[in-house]
Amino acid sequence: MQSRLAVQQIRTFTGLRTGVNVRTLTNPIPGKTPNIVSADEALAVVQSGDNVYIHCAPSTPTDLLKALARHVEKNGLSNVRTHHLLTTGEVPWTDPKFAGKIRSNCFFVCSNLRPLVNTGKADYTPIFLQDTIKVLDDKVKPVDVSLVTVSPPDSHGYCSIGVNVDMASAACRNAKYVIGAMNKSQPKTFGDTFIHASQFHALVETDVPLPEVPSGKGTPEEAAIGKLIAENLVDDYATLQLGIGSIPDNVLKLLIGHKDIGIHTELLCTGVMSLIEAGVVTNSRKSIDVGKCVTSFAMGNRKFYDLLNDNTAFVFASAAYTNNFNVIAAQSRMTAINSAIEIDLAGQIVSDTIGKNYYSGFGGQVDFINAAAQAADGKGKAIIALPSRTHKGQTKIVPYIKEGAGVVTTRAHTHYVVTEFGIANLFGKSVRQRAYELIKIAHPDDREALDKAAFARFGVAPSRD
């Protein structure tokens, strides 16, 4: 069993509770008062050639991004590089007039930057989410200025970086200048989240509602996948890692009869609310962080954000902690559920590309799939869930991955694969056994063609033996 001492050492290193890495940004600076200015005044610090970190997802500081664009355009700046995970809302430099002036480097490709990445006008860095912290701490990607959305200071002067800690805490502690957009919509969260107001180079008052991600029913196929996972692969007392979308939402809806579920994830979504209210998610059987939902970031609706606000039952930690192998593997009955774009007959998982085009990113898929499969209690499960076909009717279980596509999860990492037609367990199976199991859960109309393709590829018919 993973020792509690080792996990505590990881906590300290990554700054989950009282880690040394965040002290420089949590303690007040004696005699220094907060510097509250306009967005344009705050962004005047940016110079040509600077590296700027941007808070991600619901916490994207849109007012600061607009001010950055105005500053660059007005003062003729060039080669300003922004680094970030996925962003929401308006990103001004998608306008062609900013070519050569501002260039994004995406650690996770999102819809508003996807066209630029795929036309060479923005960059994509493939990376495990946990390693984004090391990239910043080791100055592989230096940070001159960090732009973050924070809650207004509390009575002691502390602001919270809210629902997106992920790599934001590391970006703040490594930046020369930290600029905060004080937004009353940003929840006050606990964990690796607090920065004293005196530590900011500048604070900007803003009032932009956090973007909401509504829950969706999804397709009948996704509902069927959720049912298969909930009824066959999630045990009572399991600790879950779930992403966002209709498949995770459908899994959560069907766990209402389960007992004492725990949450340790990189992303927390609205679907967990009903299980908390029903007493299903208690976190009481977790091996570590007992009684706490632990996450790196959260996305959901306003009611969900209100639940997270000032709530000590939720801990927001750096991705260096949430996605650390030893921390994940130490969890009780760790069950990781992730998605894919396509899978080949040998079990290679494509999750960040569609052929030659970049679509998303590595995120924490491999972090969790690898660690869950090797959980210390021997009861972990690593699950990949995907519909058997695309919305255009093309099979997602393929003889070969598309030309130019990138493998995120390797054949050796892949264990459970779930479509609406069933569950395939690939662990320990030969290539022809894998092909056999995957063809069984492909769309019935695709199975004959896949069977022939498997024979052509492997020189032998797929077989259960």
Q: Which residues are catalytic?
A: 266
In single-letter form, the type of residue at position 257 comes to G
Q: How many CB atoms lie within 10 A of CB 244?
A: 19
Q: Measured between alpha carbons, how far is 162 from 164 in angstroms, rounded to an integer?
A: 6
Helix axis angle, 431-440 to 447-458, nearest 10°: 170
Residue 303: φ, ψ to 5°: -60, -40
Longest dimension (CA), the chain: 76
For residues 396 and 343, the answer to whether their CB atoms sit within 8 Å is: yes
Helix (H) or strand (E) holding 450: helix 447-458
Sheet containing 397-398, strands listed edge to edge, beginning at the edge strand earlier in sequence: 349-350, 342-344, 397-398
- Give the list of residues 6+ apart from residue 268 with CB closer than 8 angstroms, or none: 293, 295, 297, 298, 299, 300, 314
Residue 268: φ, ψ to 5°: -110, 135
Pairing of strands 416-419, 349-350: unpaired
Q: Which two tokens stand for residue 374?
A: 């090797």
Q: Measured between alpha carbons, how far is 357 from 6 in angstroms, rounded to an integer?
A: 40
Q: Measured between alpha carbons, how far is 303 from 244 in angstroms, rounded to an integer?
A: 16
Q: Measured between alpha carbons, how far is 301 from 276 in angstroms, rounded to an integer?
A: 16
For residues 24 and 172, the answer to whether their CB atoms sit within 8 Å is: no
Exposed e or buried b for every residue in 67-86, given b needs 16+ CB within 10 A?
bbbebbbeeebeebbbbbbb
Q: How many CB atoms lie within 10 A of CB 6?
A: 12
Pairing of strands 422-425, 293-295: unpaired
Q: How many CB atoms lie within 10 A of CB 326?
A: 14
Q: Measured between alpha carbons, how far is 460 from 465 in angstroms, rounded to an integer?
A: 12
Pairing of strands 314-316, 293-295: parallel
DSSP-based three-state secondary structure for 94: helix
For residues 152 and 195, the answer to whether their CB atoms sit within 8 Å is: no
Q: What is the DSSP string of 312-342?
A: TTEEE--HHHHT-HHHHHTSTTEEEEEE-SE
Q: Which two tokens stand for residue 432?
A: 């022809």
